[in-house]
Amino acid sequence: MAQIIIKYKLKAGVTREQYENWTRTTDYPTMRGLTRVARFVNYRTVRNLLSDAAPTVDYVEFFDIADMDGFLGEDMGSSTVQAVMSEFMQFVDAPEFLIAEEVV
């Protein structure tokens, strides 16, 4: 199963509380409601494992996508996903969207 991984920092002036409330009330229910999204979780970074340096990102999202072609071809362009993406982009700065697959 392919994954979408999104890494990002919050925009200046956006608090974790504001963003995490939006995640719980809008992002989770909307994106988890899509048929092709088998799993979606969002992680807040808290510290670096091997140094005292601040993490380079504030959040990392993981999506397990059952049908990546269908997700990219149909879901991404839907009004539902576009509305969530528009709101998401108001909270975050320079997100990196990655498609990944497991090494087996």
* Residue 21 φ then ψ, to 5°: -65, -45
The correct answer on CATH 3.30.70.100 for the domain covering 2-100 is yes
DSSP sequence for 5-47: EEEEEEPTT--HHHHHHHIIIIIHHHHHTSTTEEEEEEEE---
> For position 2, what pLDDT does the model report?
94
Q: Is the model's pTM score more than 0.85? A: yes
Q: Spell out the domain ranges in the chain.
A: 2-100
Per-residue pLDDT reduced to its tens digit, 10-53 = 999 999 999 999 999 999 999 999 999 999 999 999 999 999 99
